[in-house]
Amino acid sequence: MLFALRTGGDYPFVTKGEAKSRPLDGEAREKFDKMVDERVHHPKAEIALRLRVSEEFPNGSGKLLAHMLDFDLTKRPSAAECAEEWRKLLRPWIAAAPMPEQGDTAGESFEDVSAYLNAVLRQTAAMSSLQWERIISTIEKLERSNQLDESKLSRLQELRKSVGEKRLSVLV
């Protein structure tokens, strides 16, 4: 499904047009299924699939998707492993987690905020004015929480400054 969503409807071994017009039953369906089976079992099928994945998913998600589509079922990651890897990949794209309650660790918020700010600096994520205000507020809460060590606080301040300068340069 991820492959089809990214490619606009193509599947690893079936194009969007083929999937749309595939026969539902009978001899025509058997012929269609045989065609797909031949593509899947072609000696170079796995190499071709990995190439398509790397073209369609040029970032870290391509590596994970290729791993998920490994022809050797024993080498595929579990659902839990996939969920964890997707979470890591998506972290820069999602809003920072709310501040932890008193007594909780602020590490997760630090990780979320720093990942997001790094993504903005790498230009792999955008930031609206509202998001900027929320990030500043979260950083200020982290500073007041006394739950982060000096190196993490310093890193957040550096990132805030760099992103702030980048935002100003765009506005000028």
Angle (CA) 100 101 104, round 5°:
70
In angstroms, the first-to-last Cα distance of the chain is 43
Mean pLDDT across the stretch 66-93? 85
pLDDT of residue 102: 43
Q: What is the pTM of this model?
A: 0.48
Mean pLDDT across the stretch 41-70? 85
pLDDT tens, residue by residue, 105-131: 455 678 888 888 888 888 777 777 888
Grouping H, G, I as helix, E, B as strand and the rest as coil, residue 15 is: coil
User: Which residues lie below 8 Å from residue 113, measured CB to CB, with a gap of 6+?
Assistant: 96, 135, 138, 139, 142, 156, 159
Q: Does the pLDDT of residue 172 top 70, yes or no?
A: no
Q: Does the pLDDT of residue 104 top 70, yes or no?
A: no
